[in-house]
Structure 1
């Protein structure tokens, strides 16, 4: 009998497409209550000492007599990281050995997407498991002032897992509303350390409005060191605690988001701070700064930082039972390497929403695998809730689907449409086919299996397929909140 997981296949050393091979890590039943309670696969081995990728296949072997508990969850987001910005995804000039090793130890997703094309709507989709357009705050693309946010009454990944017995923390970028009305601590996270806004200067912690934006809980916290160092230190401390229950840590780096300041660039930092204090509203955008080389330095620093947190997790003895997930919040920016995708952040072309995504859970999922199943942010919400033994609130049904059965029980992934909407653009993916309408207003149709770059428009050749996908998009859109009209 053919495995349903024929679209997960053993990994190779390059970032090029691979031949389809059977997924070998199908194991047991998923979590539904306080324990997962199934036999588990052994941990993936580390990379060889010479730094090359181990290409051996990992057939499943049950660890007889062992059971895995509900996992700790370490969910890591990079900020504006392009789909091919990791060397394991094809970047020829950026070295990311720690994230590459994480991919070797788990599953690398080639067709994973963010919930939207900019920062805060994607975070809404991840935290709620729903389309950003379900909530008023999710209509901001992205949130730029204090008029919108994630309502504390809305259930979240954190509040639902906390209700199921998890400790919860968010370290880093929140970007789902500002005090006094909105905060992670009002939306299910026991602890918060980080920034509320969409961007900040890495040393001074000054935000887009010139305000200081580093908080512990809901109180300002003074620390003028390089921000990525601070977040790495805090996250490492959290994962090494003596936890008495499973935990969720959302670790949201701002790297490599502008301004283009790497660790040690104190002169560039001082100049941006001077401009902010002089009232220049564009200072943080850093349109006159940055370079491919500086961006590379920032991405490689992000990689080292993730490596430090993973080392701390290993020292804590919790690595085996911790599900680690890494992704970007949307597509890349000015200096990102997105080839062969078209478009970037803010666009619903592939380069704006397709993101690098890696999952590792040594107790349950074998390493050296790659999946080309289309998935996106709300799916991970549904998946983590199922694995953590939490149920969605019946009044707030999820738009994502759980991937637990696909990853752990060799079930066929559910066939469904992936939907996106931003002002002036629309997109929907069904299988290999993508319907797209950009700001020019023309409906386009692409077969992504043959044309990831979205250059061969099949709309005229496939009118019935185009009409079906367009109708599906319009049905979903009709159930969402309308955008407010411009005043």
Structure 2
């Protein structure tokens, strides 16, 4: 009898202990996170941001089913520094060598420090980087041997899996790398790369322009080794079997991204999906050639939108959409002519790639680094939300560290702030300030923007972009003058003095008060 009595009590105890799980529900799984990082997509390039000459329905879904930001930023007006800030939580101008990198550059992310993917790894996530990398590879100041496993790259910065190309599609080497190895490498045809002098006997755009299917714009440097009928920056020899076909890049990257999502659909994952489409040379697949009214640049915008749609379909197919936070943004503002004679300038008439903003890629004006930012997480973000909160990609590290209740070391993410509530639409209060880099540094505080004095050309002739360079200080009230047309520096000298002093204090290593 006693044994039966104790067995009965044991059953009751087990049932009571199970009540929190059964009645109140199990603890929610951590959300999957996908960060889709577009290349050179401007504030006005999407129909959800006002474009009328082109339609991006799949990206627009993120706005309809999630949140659209109007005051979101990359740290910089070019790609490498923006990506460095995203990964490290540190302003790129604090570290030498973070400018736009050649294809044979050393890895610039310190592997001993915390990075964004390491934050996810520490939270138990599987992590992957698929797409453009452009943050260097290999040991500092050591020449990369492309014919052996590359010992330092995305994997060493926190990614469990990586499928990428080294720099940009207009730079050699034009090969895919999976984790540490060049894909399709033929040991009998070794790869060599040089950015200082011509190597080998392969045709170049300069010497053999008749071989080009996409002519280069003058003086941009896209006239070196020809790969797939396109002149590149830098010289390359060997690796014929390993070289990509530009028209296939988007499909290859999408396939690898979908494969990672499928393999990790049962456990939390972080996917950094860095698209190539709009960056030159613009070479859409046959599926999208001639599908827009804006030539090749319009066609690759449609291809990019399709890619986002395929990711959304995959999430639905795997029934993980509800618990996936998907963020779409861009590494810098737009550029129309960036080195190839693809008629983008002529065919883009009527389309404002930067919207109402002044400048574009390479510029200190808002068009250089104010970018689209849309996010969807059905379990947490209210559909159709709009926000003017000041947020920046550099803040992802601190935001997710806080979300996972992790502590950040004193030397890690020094410029990153927790803006998770703003990112999820719970508040419209984001950062109180932001320093951005577009040649000259600028400081935004509230609605005021100060651009430091800088000598140099006001117009970058190669791209016809306003640089923001001015030997005198510039001050704009963005609440009334988003296009930065009226310089108020002379009218508000005290404001200029205060913001200049604050910028110097931050530049010297301080965080904003």
TM superposition score normalised by structure 1: 0.74
Report the counterpart of residue 263 of structure 2 in structure 1. 241
Distance 1:177 1:415, change over 3 A: closer
Aligned partner of residue 503 in structure 2, secondary structure? helix
CA distance in 1 between counterparts of 2:175 and 2:406 reads 33
Match of 1:217 among 165, 174, 179: 179
The Cα shift of 1:181 comes to: 5.6
Q: Within the alignment, does 1:190 sit opposite 2:160 as a pair?
A: yes
**Do 1:322 and 1:361's aligned partners in 2 also have CA atoms closer than 8 Å?**
yes
Match of 2:451 among 425, 433, 436: 436
CA distance in 1 between counterparts of 2:372 and 2:278 reads 14
Report the counterpart of residue 11 of structure 2 in structure 1. none
The Cα shift of 1:263 comes to: 1.0
Aligned partner of residue 344 in structure 1, secondary structure? coil
**Do 1:137 and 1:176's aligned partners in 2 also have CA atoms closer than 8 Å?**
no
**Do 1:107 and 1:367's aligned partners in 2 also have CA atoms closer than 8 Å?**
yes
Q: Within the alignment, does 1:175 sit opposite 2:134 as a pair?
A: yes
The gaps in structure 1 that reach 5 residues or longer are 1-36, 38-63, 201-206, 269-289, 481-487
Q: Within the alignment, does 1:141 sit opposite 2:100 as a pair?
A: yes
Q: Within the alignment, does 1:469 sit opposite 2:499 as a pair?
A: yes
Q: Please say which of residues 375-384 and 350-359 is displaced more in the overlay.
A: 375-384
Report the counterpart of residue 305 of structure 1 in structure 2. 307
The Cα shift of 1:258 comes to: 0.3
Q: Within the alignment, does 1:454 sit opposite 2:484 as a pair?
A: yes
Match of 1:403 among 419, 435, 440: 419
**Do 1:236 and 1:313's aligned partners in 2 also have CA atoms closer than 8 Å?**
no
For residues 376-399 of structure 1, what are the alpha-carbon distances to aligned partners after superposition, in whole Å with 9 as ceiling and x for unaligned? Answer: 111223222323444323332431
The Cα shift of 1:414 comes to: 5.1
For residues 51-72 of structure 1, what are the alpha-carbon distances to aligned partners after superposition, in whole Å with 9 as ceiling and x for unaligned? Answer: xxxxxxxxxxxxx968643211
Report the counterpart of residue 44 of structure 1 in structure 2. none
Match of 1:95 among 55, 72, 79: 55
CA distance in 1 between counterparts of 2:131 and 2:379 reads 27
Structure 1 residues 331-410: aligned runs within 5 Å: 331-334=333-336, 335=344, 337-407=353-423, 410=426
Match of 2:171 among 201, 205, 208: 208
Match of 1:155 among 114, 118, 123: 114
Report the counterpart of residue 282 of structure 2 in structure 1. 260
CA distance in 2 between counterparts of 1:235 and 1:147 reads 25
The Cα shift of 1:415 comes to: 5.0
The Cα shift of 1:463 comes to: 1.2
Structure 1 residues 411-426: aligned runs within 5 Å: 413=429, 415-423=431-439, 425-426=440-441
CA distance in 1 between counterparts of 2:264 and 2:100 reads 39
For residues 157-206 of structure 1, what are the alpha-carbon distances to aligned partners after superposition, in whole Å with 9 as ceiling and x for unaligned? Answer: 11122122111000001111123464101111000001111x21xxxxxx
The Cα shift of 1:221 comes to: 1.6
CA distance in 1 between counterparts of 2:333 and 2:506 reads 23
TM superposition score normalised by structure 2: 0.71
CA distance in 2 between counterparts of 1:66 and 1:459 reads 57
The Cα shift of 1:264 comes to: 2.5
Aligned length: 387
For residues 251-286 of structure 1, what are the alpha-carbon distances to aligned partners after superposition, in whole Å with 9 as ceiling and x for unaligned? Answer: 001111000211139999xxxxxxxxxxxxxxxxxx
**Do 2:332 and 2:361's aligned partners in 1 also have CA atoms closer than 8 Å?**
yes
Report the counterpart of residue 87 of structure 2 in structure 1. 127
Aligned partner of residue 240 in structure 1, secondary structure? helix
Aligned partner of residue 103 in structure 1, secondary structure? helix
Report the counterpart of residue 320 of structure 1 in structure 2. 322
**Do 1:176 and 1:182's aligned partners in 2 also have CA atoms closer than 8 Å?**
no
Structure 1 residues 42-61: aligned runs within 5 Å: none
The Cα shift of 1:346 comes to: 1.1
Over aligned residue pairs, what C-alpha RMSD do you find? Answer: 2.6
CA distance in 2 between counterparts of 1:218 and 1:312 reads 27
The gaps in structure 2 that reach 5 residues or longer are 1-19, 139-149, 185-243, 337-343, 345-351, 453-467
CA distance in 2 between counterparts of 1:409 and 1:112 reads 13
CA distance in 1 between counterparts of 2:282 and 2:385 reads 34
For residues 74-108 of structure 1, what are the alpha-carbon distances to aligned partners after superposition, in whole Å with 9 as ceiling and x for unaligned? Answer: 00011001111000101111110000011111110
Distance 1:144 1:461, change over 3 A: farther
Report the counterpart of residue 281 of structure 1 in structure 2. none
Distance 1:136 1:384, change over 3 A: same
Aligned partner of residue 258 in structure 1, secondary structure? coil
Distance 1:385 1:376, change over 3 A: same
The Cα shift of 1:402 comes to: 1.4
Structure label with greater radius of gyration = 2
CA distance in 1 between counterparts of 2:124 and 2:276 reads 29
CA distance in 2 between counterparts of 1:370 and 1:407 reads 11
**Do 2:165 and 2:174's aligned partners in 1 also have CA atoms closer than 8 Å?**
no
